[in-house]
Amino acid sequence: MRELLDDLDRFGRQGRRVALARVVDLEGSGPRDPGAAMAVADDGEVVGSVSGGCVEGAVVEAALSSLATGARGLHTFGYSDDEAFAVGLTCGGTIHLFLEPVEADLARDELATAIRAGLPAALATVVDGPNVGAKLLVRPGTPAVGSLGHHELDRVVARDAEGGLASGTTGVRRYGAHGEAIADDVAVFVESFVPPPRMLIFGAVDFTGALVRVAKVLGYEVTVCDARPVFATARRFPFADHVVVDWPHRHLEAVGANLTGRDAVCVLTHDAKFDVPAIVAALATDVGYIGAMGSRRTHATRVERLVEAGVDEKGLARIHAPIGLDLGARTPEETAIAICAELLAVRTGRAAIRPLRESTGPIHAD
């Protein structure tokens, strides 16, 4: 829903009524993950997507019906359904959508404010059971806004939503009417909105610009850091969110406490006086991915220096070097894709193609 905020505001200013469809659950393969959203205005204008085109036509019809009747509730499309097959849901899975008219709602207004401020927030919505459509906005360290219909249910859902924010988890949870954990009287869709993951790129080198561009496509907030002011400039890296002139290890000491498993550190410097202190500092954080560029010989020398600096076997195992998957990449753009492919595989726990660190022989084969 994040990407629809401006359009929802526009519809509101224009006095147009809107229905909102959100993917809340999947069974098997699905074209869009939970949280994907589509808004349909009363004149038929559509923004967003819930299926990449598979069921959009049917959803528009359901949305217009919702606007006419005020109905809100779950809609399911599966491969075996005649309607879904007719509109092209051929991925073999089933998607569950929650569809409702958009009405003035303090929880949703507060959510929009939090998202635009870059603050973590979770929106809990009852999608099945009593009080369908009731909402509760949860923000760490702030009293919850709204209610799902019972104070104990509010308390338990708020607790679970705060836990889910730590990992950015979005999905349906089931509770008893009063928040009981072993019942399933109420289905609550908890949608987590967290700031984008961060990528810190150390080294303003020729590969850096390409990596910035690919990382931005994947939704990362990207920082380029280098101690050399002549190279670390916004003009050289116009797509970076931040360009910092500082020693990498000093920058990590300043921001490292805020790094999480969703974030990444990519060391592209090839220079021991930069990359060894940077890697040591990165290992002291909870960052989920640490990659370092260089040949196998360069990394072997780097490992010796890291061991001298006190890095143990567990720490060395966290370093992805040579950085990236073994895709045969040569150009900066190809290398950026190989790096981001490895980062994605690490984040999802998939083996994918072998990383370079697990292969042997020349990195650039003939």
Burial class (CB in 10 A: 0-12, 13-18, 19+), 361: exposed
> Domain holding 334: CATH number?
3.40.50.720
**Domain membership flag for residue 65:** yes
Residues 73-130 pLDDT 10s: 999 987 555 554 444 455 557 889 999 999 877 788 899 999 988 889 999 999 999 9
3-state secondary structure of 106: helix
252 token code pair: 């990590």
- CA-CA distance, 187 to 146, in Å (whole number)? 17
**237 within 8 A of 208, measured Cβ to Cβ:** yes
Residue type, 225: C
Tens digit of pLDDT for each residue in 100-116? 999 877 788 899 999 98
- Class of residue 308 by CB neighbours under 10 A (exposed 0-12, middle 13-18, buried 19+): exposed
Q: Which of 146, 166, 193 is the last residue of a domain?
A: 193
Question: Are 340 and 204 found together in one domain?
Answer: yes
As a whole number of angstroms, the distance between CA 54 and CA 21 comes to 14
Q: Are 207 and 293 in contact (CB under 8 A)?
A: yes
CA 99 distance to own-chain centroid: 23
366 in any annotated domain:
no
> In this predicted structure, what is the pLDDT of residue 348?
79
Q: Which residues contact 69 (CB under 8 A, 6 or more apart)?
A: none
Q: Which of 7, 96, 19, 15 is nearest to 62 (CA)?
A: 19
End-to-end CA distance of the chain: 47
Instruction: Tell me which residue range forms the domain holding 149.
Output: 106-193
Is 248 within the bounds of a domain? Answer: yes
CB 267 within 8 A of CB 291: yes
Q: What is the Cα–Cα distance from 293 to 204, expressed in whole angstroms?
A: 13
User: Both 174 and 232 in a single domain?
Assistant: no
In a domain, 363, yes or no: no
258 and 332, same domain (yes or no)? yes
> Given 142, 176, 193, which residue is the final one in a domain?
193
210 and 291, same domain (yes or no): yes
How much is the pLDDT for 253? Answer: 93
pLDDT of residue 187: 96
User: What pLDDT is recorded for position 82?
Assistant: 54
Query: Would residue 351 count as lying in a domain?
Result: yes
- Are 209 and 325 within one domain? yes
Residues 203 and 343 in one domain: yes
Query: Taking the alpha carbons of 28, 33, 35, 39 in that order, is the dihedral positive or negative?
Result: negative
Q: Which two structure tokens, joined as six digits, stand for 38? A: 């589509």
Ranges of residues in the chain with a pLDDT under 50 are 84-88, 365-366
Both 120 and 256 in a single domain? Answer: no
Answer yes or no: do 270 and 244 share one domain. yes
What sections of the chain are H helices per DSSP?
Answer: 5-13, 56-69, 82-87, 106-116, 151-165, 208-217, 248-255, 272-283, 296-308, 313-317, 332-348
Number of domains within the chain: 3
Specify whether 65 is located in the same domain as 186: no
Domain boundary among 58, 83, 101: 101
Judgement on whether residues 203 and 163 belong to the same structural domain of the protein: no
Q: Is residue 365 part of a domain?
A: no
Same domain, 210 and 354: yes
Per the confidence metrics, is the pTM higher than 0.75? no
pLDDT at 118 (0 to 100): 85
* 364 lies in some domain: no
Both 218 and 288 in one domain: the answer is yes
